Amino acid sequence: MKHNDNEYLNNMRHSCAHLLAHAIKILYPGALNAIGPAIEHGFYQDFDMGKWKISEEDFPKIEAKMREILPRWVKFSFNEISLAEAIRLFKDNKYKVEMATEFAAGGKKLMTNDPGDFLDLCKMGHVENPSKELSNFELLSVAGAYWRGSEKNKMLTRIYGTCFPTKDELDAHLHQLEESKKRDHRKIGQDLDLFSTNPLTGQGLILWHPKLSVTRNIVEQFWKAEHYKRGYQLVYTPHIASMDMFVKSRHLSKYINSMFPVMLHEYIEGESAPDYQVDEILKPMNCPNHIQIYKHRPRSYRELPLRIGELGTVYRYERAGVLHGLTRVRGFTQDDSHIFCTSDQVIDEVRGVLRIMKDFYALFGFKDYQAYISTRPEKYLGTLETWHMAEESLKKAAADEGFDYKIDEGEGVFYGPKIDIKVKDSIGREWQLGTVQFDFNQPSQAETTDDEIEEFWKLKTFKHKFKTKEAMAKYLRKLGRGFNVTYVDADGKEKQCVMIHRVIFGSLERFFGILIEHYAGAFPVWLAPVQVALIPIAERHNEGAKKALQALRDAGLRVELDDRNESMQAKIRNHTLQKVPYLAIMGDREIQGATVSVRTRSGEDLGAMSLEQFVRNVNDEIERKH
C-alpha cells in the first residue's frame, strides 16, 4: 500500500463515501444514496434526502455515526449480480435501479459490495481493511447538485468530505483549506474592488474593474514584449467565425454543446432553394483562425518555424452550477500561440516553449512545478511513427530543459500527445497552467467518412440545420476534414507542417484568479494597481501633498492621494487593508523638508526620505519585479 499512490487514495476516499452513505441512511430514514466518487483531495456523496434537510451544523452528528459504524467494517465483499437481482435488491432506490439498468444495457457487469452491514451497488475500487484505513476523515461542505448533472432532473444534496491515510496529512490539508478560504479570490476581488459579474452582463462573463485592469494591462504588455523578443508574430482575430471552419477542424463535433450560436442565416447554392442553414458562432478557440493566417499565402521552409501568438478571447458554455469567480467562466482570453514547423525543428521549439514557462512562472513566484506527458490514447489520428516522434520529442525537450516529468499513459487527446505543467502556489495548492500540444488533425486533409457523417447526424443541435441527412452529408463531404497546412521544402516538394498548440497562463481570467489567491491580494509592487498611497496628516498638508502627488506621477508611479477628512490612523488602516505596497505620510516636517515618511503595508516603518530617494527605491523594486 502506497499512501501517495493515486489509485490507493481514490479507493480510500471512495470507500469513505460508502461510510458516509451508511451513516446518512441510519440517521435520516428514507434518504437515498446516489453516486459517491472520489475527487481530487476527497470525495462527495449525493443524496435524495426526502423529507429531511441537513446543513454543516449536522456534520458532528454524522461524523460521530460514521465513527460508530467503522469498527464493524472489516473487509468489503463483492458479488456479480444480474439486472433482475439488482432491481430486486435496490427496488427502494430509484437511482441505483436507473444506474443498474444503464450499466446492463451497455454490457457492463453489475457488482455489489458489502463491508459487513451495508450492501451497495458499485463498480469502483475499495480499501482492503476499512476499519483501519478510513479513520482520518472530515466532512467539509453541503451543496446542491442535479442528478446526472442535468437541470431537467431532481436537485440532490451533495456532501463533500476528505480522507487521508494519516492524521498529520488530514490536519495539513484542513489547514490548507482554511488558508484557501482566507485567500478566496472572489472575496478578495470584492474587498479590493478588482472585478465583478452582473446578471445583466451575463453569467460567467467578467467585468474587470479599473484596478485589476491596470494589473492585467501590465501582464499583457510584458507577455507581448517577451514574445516579440522570442520570435513570435502577434495577431488579432475576430470573435465570431463561420461554423464551416469548426466543422472542418472537427471542433464542432466534439464541443458543440459548449458553443454559443450567435447568428443564423440561410445558405443558398446558386438558384436552388436553401436545403440547409449555417451558423456564425462565437469562437470557442483561436487555432483555426491562426491556420487561416498561415495559409493566406504559400510558405517556404525558409519561413519556418513560424510562431503565431494572440491574446485571443474565446467563449464556451459552462453550466451555471460550475461557474466560479474568475476560474470557471464563459468568456476568457487565452494566451494562445501556434507554432508551424518541420519535424526536425520540433525539439528546439518545444524547448523554447518550456523556457518561456520557466521564466514566466519564476517571475510570478511559482517555483515548484511538475510536468505531465500524456501519450497515445486507444483511438487516435495520425500514424504510429508520427506519435512516436512527437512523444519522444516531448520527453527529450522536457529532459533537456530540466523538467521533472511523469507519464500519463494513454491520456493524450485523439489528435496528439501533450505536456501539461502544474504549478504549486504559495500555500502548496497545485494548479494546471501551461500546455504544449501536438496536433495531427488540423494540419492534415482528409475526406469525410461515413462514420463521421453518422456522428454529426446524431448531434441534435447540428442536424436541425438540414432538411435531410443527404443534404448534411453533401455539406460535410464538400468541406472535408482538416486544412492541409503545408510548406514547400528545399527540394521543391510540398510537405505537411507540424503544428504545436501552446499556452503559458492558460486563460488570463483563471490565471488572475490563481494569482490573486497566490498573493492573497498583495500584488508585488510592479503589479500593484496602486503602488503608493499619499496620506496628508491634516487638511493644511493637502496642498503640499498634491505637489508630491504630481511629482510621483511624473516619475511614473501609480499613486492615490487620500485627502479625506479622516484621521491619519484611519487612512493608514484603510490603505493597509487595500494592500497598497507603500504609504507615504506628509505632515509639517515632511512638507518643510520636501520628504515623505514611508511605511509598508506589512507595517514596517522605513522612516523619512526625499521624494527623489523614494522614487529611486520604488523604481528599483519595480525593475527587479519583486
The grid coordinates of residue 483 equal: 486544412
CA distance 426 to 520: 9
287 classed as catalytic: yes
Element (H, E) at 513: helix 508-519
CA distance 626 to 66: 49
Which candidate in 22, 173, 216, 316 is catalytic?
A: 316
336 classed as catalytic: yes
CB 423 within 8 A of CB 431: yes
Which of 550, 593, 590, 594 has its CA nearest to residue 568? 590
Pairing label, strands 486-488, 494-496: antiparallel
345 classed as catalytic: no
Which candidate in 22, 248, 251, 338 is catalytic?
A: 338
CB 587 within 8 A of CB 598: no
Which candidate in 46, 120, 336, 420 is catalytic?
A: 336
Which candidate in 418, 481, 541, 599 is catalytic?
A: 418
Which candidate in 186, 501, 510, 601 is catalytic?
A: 501
Give the contacts of 403 (CB within 8 A, at least 6 positions apart): 354, 371, 419, 421
Place of cell 489528435: 415
CB 442 within 8 A of CB 485: yes
Residue 305: is the preceding peptide bond cis (ω within 30°)?
yes
Identify the DSSP state of 466. Answer: B
518 classed as catalytic: no
Q: Which alpha helices (H) appear in 377-507, and where do they start and end?
A: 384-400, 450-457, 460-463, 469-479
351 classed as catalytic: no
The grid coordinates of residue 260 equal: 454559443
Helix axes 6-27, 59-69, angle to 10 degrees: 110
183 classed as catalytic: no
Which candidate in 287, 330, 575, 578 is catalytic?
A: 287
Burial bucket for residue 510 (CB in 10 Å: 0-12, 13-18, 19+)? buried
316 classed as catalytic: yes
The counts of H helices and E strands in the chain are: 21, 28
Side chain identity at 554, as an amino acid letter?
D
Which candidate in 126, 275, 307, 334 is catalytic?
A: 334
Q: Which residues are catalytic?
A: 287, 316, 334, 336, 338, 418, 501
